[in-house]
């Protein structure tokens, strides 16, 4: 459905209460929620069979009215289940408001219970939020993100293995060796000694899988659970910033693994370009003849927003776009970005652009957060996700960002290459795994998959994937692992010259 049609039908507002014929309401109740499995007890399955029979002889069913809250009945059933299981705080989707001067996007959000989590770990704030091309897709993605966020906070410290890399090696165990991860620079370690690590450092470990061989492997728990609370006795060293990057959920294990790997590749590519102050090629998306892409560009133009599509792909051969929204209204330019990586040009463009537009709805609100006068690069603990989204405003910050938009033009055909020949999720996953294998030591992917009866009931898979040598996203400015081999080597493979000093300004990636 086109965006203008969605807007005309009011689908960006609260789900309006309505009256519907019972026959239509029943059909809606029995419809699947996207690809989630339907939640039905044995009694409900029997009742459904009986209703099928009764509906054939009910002469007045087409005249019976049912009052509805507005949210589709099938989705209400799913939300009731998630609420009963303590995963969401209320059994309804929360709407998102958009200013009159901003694009209206199909969005849905879910929030966790207010009570404390029934798990160890730090208390974290999160939601299941999605912007998509349709309300149905937004609801599905919001549920999926909520499941991902929730279950990757669920762990018990007493279920983890506590050991050192040296002892694991002596026992012949397979494990993600912290020595293969990107490191902090000496001056960073001097500022925070917990950034140091050695073969004798003690970590907590969780059981996962090394994906090349499919064998069981230990993974540092702090790289899996994004709310992980580091042990204090003895003090546990810090390996990286704890974010949700590389976490994913999907309806098959392979699709979940693929989504996680694509996200890691996307963030790695962005940081290779950003930290080296490289100017990516600017993809001429406007030359596309796809009607949905054209409609999106025209829709953004109606709100006087400029959209740029930057090729932040790396030598891995997986197309990656960073979409940039520039809003020149008001006191000065406001910059917002989003990302998309994959094997289908249209999907990459729409996904990255919708994320950038969604981020813009947040970053344009509130007060500008200026870069502190005494700013020292990569040292600030107080510059996190929210702060970095509100830093990129005004003429001075736009001038600091301008290099990122200064690349030469590239056609969609040259950008996508032969990627669209990989048409299935399995083929795409195999392609990425093959590429990582060719890249050598340090590029072995490790995966942790959540096991839970809720996920089994819904037919959903939640995973966390780590590829040690890919540059990890950091949201706390003092947590960038700057001693990264790829930051020095990848630019040369792409035809650029690595920077002699890293870009000092906080990145705007959300």
- Return the structure tokens found at 16: 């309006």
Residues whose CB falls within 8 Å of the CB of residue 83, separated by 6 or more in sequence, listed in order = 89, 90, 91
Given pLDDT bands bounded at 50, 70 and 90, which one contains residue 11? very low
Q: How many CA atoms lie within 13 A of 457 on its CB side?
A: 12
Residues 144 and 271 in one domain: no
CA 188-386-103 angle, to 5 degrees, is 140
- Write down the residue that tokens 């370009």 correspond to: 273
How many domains, the chain?
2
Given pLDDT bands bounded at 50, 70 and 90, which one contains residue 332? confident
DSSP letter at 87 equals S
Give the Cα separation of 137 and 31 in Å (integer).
Answer: 14
Residues 141 and 278 in one domain: no
pTM of the model: 0.92
> CATH code at 369?
3.30.160.660
Given pLDDT bands bounded at 50, 70 and 90, which one contains residue 94? confident
Domain contains 47: yes
CA 80-255-281 angle, to 5 degrees, is 115
- Write down the residue that tokens 């003090």 correspond to: 235
| Average pLDDT across the chain, whole number | 91
Domain contains 486: yes
User: Kind of pairing, strands 281-283 and 409-410?
Assistant: parallel
- Return the structure tokens found at 63: 């005249």
Residues 270 and 147 in one domain: no
pLDDT score recorded for residue 367:
86
Domain contains 190: no
Residue 322, Cβ density class (10 Å: 0-12 exposed, 13-18 middle, ≥19 buried): buried
Look at residues 109, 111, 108 and name the one whose alpha carbon lies nearest to residue 83.
111
Domain contains 77: yes
Domain contains 461: no
365 in the Ramachandran plot: left (φ > 0), alpha (ψ -120 to 50) or beta? beta
| Reduced 3-state DSSP string for 103-155 | CCCEEEEECCCCCCCCCCCCCCCCCEEEEECCHHHHHHHHHHHHHHHHHCCCC
Give the Cα separation of 125 and 269 in Å (integer).
Answer: 27
DSSP letter at 331 equals T
Question: What is the C-alpha end-to-end distance of the chain, expressed in Å?
Answer: 28
Range name among 110-124, 387-401, 461-475 with the lowest pLDDT average: 110-124
Residues 404 and 271 in one domain: yes
Residues 147 and 272 in one domain: no
- The residue out of 83, 118, 151 marking a domain boundary is 151
Give the Cα separation of 161 and 504 in Å (integer).
Answer: 38
Domain contains 71: yes
Between 439 and 22, the higher pLDDT residue: 439
Domain contains 164: no
Mean pLDDT of the 344-351 span: 98
- The residue out of 151, 169, 186 marking a domain boundary is 151
Residues 287 and 424 in one domain: yes
Residues 336 and 480 in one domain: yes
- The residue out of 151, 175, 201 marking a domain boundary is 151
- Per-residue pLDDT tens digits for 353-369: 999 999 999 888 888 89
**Looking at the predicted structure, is the pLDDT value of residue 1 above 60?**
no
Residues 276 and 147 in one domain: no
Three-class DSSP category at 371: coil
Domain contains 464: no
What number of other Cβ atoms are within 10 A of residue 55's Cβ?
A: 13
Range name among 69-78, 291-300, 379-388 with the lowest pLDDT average: 69-78
Domain range for 104 is 3-151
Given pLDDT bands bounded at 50, 70 and 90, which one contains residue 480? very high
**Looking at the predicted structure, is the pLDDT value of residue 30 above 80?**
no
Give the Cα separation of 397 and 389 in Å (integer).
Answer: 12
Give the Cα separation of 214 and 237 in Å (integer).
Answer: 28
């Amino acid at each position: 459905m086109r965006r203008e049609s969605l807007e005309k039908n009011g689908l960006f507002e609260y789900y309006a209460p309505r009256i519907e014929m019972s026959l239509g309401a029943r059909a809606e109740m029995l419809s699947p929620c996207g690809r989630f499995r339907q939640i039905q007890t044995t009694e409900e399955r029997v009742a459904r069979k009986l209703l099928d029979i009764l509906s054939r002889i009910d002469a007045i069913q087409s005249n019976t009215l049912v009052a509805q809250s507005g949210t589709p009945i099938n989705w209400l059933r799913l939300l009731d289940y998630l609420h009963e299981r303590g995963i969401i705080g209320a059994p309804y989707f929360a709407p998102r408001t958009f200013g009159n001067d901003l694009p209206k996007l199909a969005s849905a959000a879910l929030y966790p219970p207010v009570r404390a989590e029934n798990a160890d770990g730090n208390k974290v704030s999160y939601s299941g939020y999605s912007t998509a091309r349709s309300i149905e897709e937004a609801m599905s993605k919001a549920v999926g993100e909520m499941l991902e966020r929730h279950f990757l906070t669920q762990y018990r410290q007493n279920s983890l293995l506590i050991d050192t890399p040296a002892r694991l090696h002596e026992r012949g165990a397979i494990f993600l060796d912290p020595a293969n991860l990107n490191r902090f620079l000496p001056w960073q370690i001097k500022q925070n000694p917990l950034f140091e690590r050695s073969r004798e450092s003690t970590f907590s470990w969780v059981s996962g899988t090394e994906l090349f061989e499919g064998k069981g492997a230990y993974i540092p728990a702090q790289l899996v659970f994004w709310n992980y609370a580091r042990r204090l006795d003895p003090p546990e060293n810090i390996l990286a910033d704890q974010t949700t990057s590389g976490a994913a959920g999907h309806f098959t294990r392979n699709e979940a693994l693929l989504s996680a790997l694509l996200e890691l590749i996307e963030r790695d590519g962005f940081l290779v370009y950003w930290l080296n102050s490289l100017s990516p090629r600017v993809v001429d998306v406007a030359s596309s003849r796809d009607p949905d892409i054209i409609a999106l560009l025209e829709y953004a133009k109606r709100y006087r927003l400029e959209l740029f599509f930057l090729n932040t792909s790396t030598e891995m051969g997986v197309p990656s776009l960073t979409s940039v929204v520039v809003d020149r209204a008001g006191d000065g330019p406001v910059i917002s970005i989003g990302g998309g990586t994959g094997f289908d040009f249209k999907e990459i463009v729409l996904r990255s652009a919708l994320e950038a537009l969604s981020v813009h709805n947040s970053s344009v609100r509130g007060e500008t957060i200026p870069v502190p006068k005494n700013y020292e690069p990569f040292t600030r603990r107080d510059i996190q996700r929210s702060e970095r989204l509100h830093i990129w405003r005004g003429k001075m910050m736009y001038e600091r960002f301008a290099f990122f938009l200064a690349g030469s033009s590239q056609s969609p055909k040259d950008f996508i290459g032969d990627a669209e020949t990989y048409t299935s999720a399995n083929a795409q996953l195999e392609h990425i795994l093959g590429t990582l294998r060719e890249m050598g030591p340090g590029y072995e992917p490790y995966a942790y998959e959540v096991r839970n009866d809720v996920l089994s009931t819904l037919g959903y898979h939640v995973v966390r994937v780590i590829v040690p040598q890919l540059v990890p996203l950091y949201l706390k400015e003092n947590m960038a692992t700057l001693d990264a081999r790829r930051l020095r080597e990848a630019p040369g493979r792409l035809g650029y010259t690595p920077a002699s000093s890293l870009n000092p300004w906080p990145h705007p990636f959300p």
